[in-house]
Amino acid sequence: MNDFTKDELIMIKRLTLQHVNQFRENSDCIDLMRKIQSLIDNYCDHEDSYEDFSYNPTRCKECDAITSR
């Protein structure tokens, strides 16, 4: 399950970038921005694909993650 939408992640990245531009040399923010970019790059909308009837989880057909209903 994604806690943020892709648009929200992009907004967080922009805010982080503004902070880095304002305060320069802030390696914590630069590291955070890289992680956020990785989340954006690997974002999946989790389209339901199939159910494993042993305990009924729904899995994403794109990334095979267990998703909530």
Model pLDDT for residues 2-51, shown as the tens digit of each residue: 688 999 999 998 988 887 777 666 677 788 888 999 999 988 877 665 55
pLDDT for residue 16: 85
**Residue ranges of domains in the chain:** 6-67
Q: What is d(CA 14, CA 20) in angstroms, rounded to the nearest whole number?
A: 10
Per-residue confidence (pLDDT) for residue 9, from 0 to 100 = 93
Confidence at residue 47, expressed as pLDDT on a 0 to 100 scale: 66
List phi, psi (to 5°) of 46. Answer: 50, 75
pLDDT at position 54 is: 57
DSSP-based three-state secondary structure for 12? helix
